[in-house]
Structure 1
């Protein structure tokens, strides 16, 4: 299944292809901070994802929270490696332990994402720096809300090394 993510003002909308059915939205918080609210197709809050330092927190509708750390490429002494002198290091992956198994979200140097569940690729995200991003679901049974959560995690990883110019 292919999902297209369209950029709108302060939000992203996820549509299935080819039937162009809205399956979810991600709304950015206007008051700043790194937080995305995940809405279902009807506009009801399904979850939220926010970042504090190097930790991502996923909070479900029921209030339960799961956290994961951004993991960076490191040298032999444990220092983060950056490919640039002026840019902060890019997060390489996150690892989540879920009831379904071990979930990994990996960011490639070309800023695409691969998602693995128990070492089996279940999803790819491409064109993440463009206006219309694409999510390719490679496994059956992934709920629409989970697609939105995976995109939110990838989005925060993608923008973790942005430089804020004041």
Structure 2
């Protein structure tokens, strides 16, 4: 049975990754927000939407980080259980704690996947080209082909 130290190393890496993402995204959102407040430009609405999506992502990342924090606690409990004398109770406790550890990791993974998907969809909406006008009046820039004479039936 594993002592949990291998899980702690992996969890340490993931916690650092998510904390770094939170910092990076928060910085990007703050920069974009300052840009909107300083300048009134035609892209302000788009930038506001970006800030909203980024800050929502940080909230979800925070929940994933909390899940990983709980997983670290379970990994620590596994570490302690590994040092205890072998018994049926120890085996049951290890199995139960390992299930809790994996549940927290799975929860964090699910949150991260959903957050990534939401950000991807939001980015697609923000960068999508504007829909063409559905005006029924002819456009000045729409070329109108000239009718060509019908082909002759004689050879």
> Greater relative contact order (Cα 8 A, min sep 6): structure 1 or 2?
2
TM-score, normalised via structure 2 length: 0.24
What TM-score comes out, normalization by structure 1 length?
Answer: 0.23
More helix by share: 2
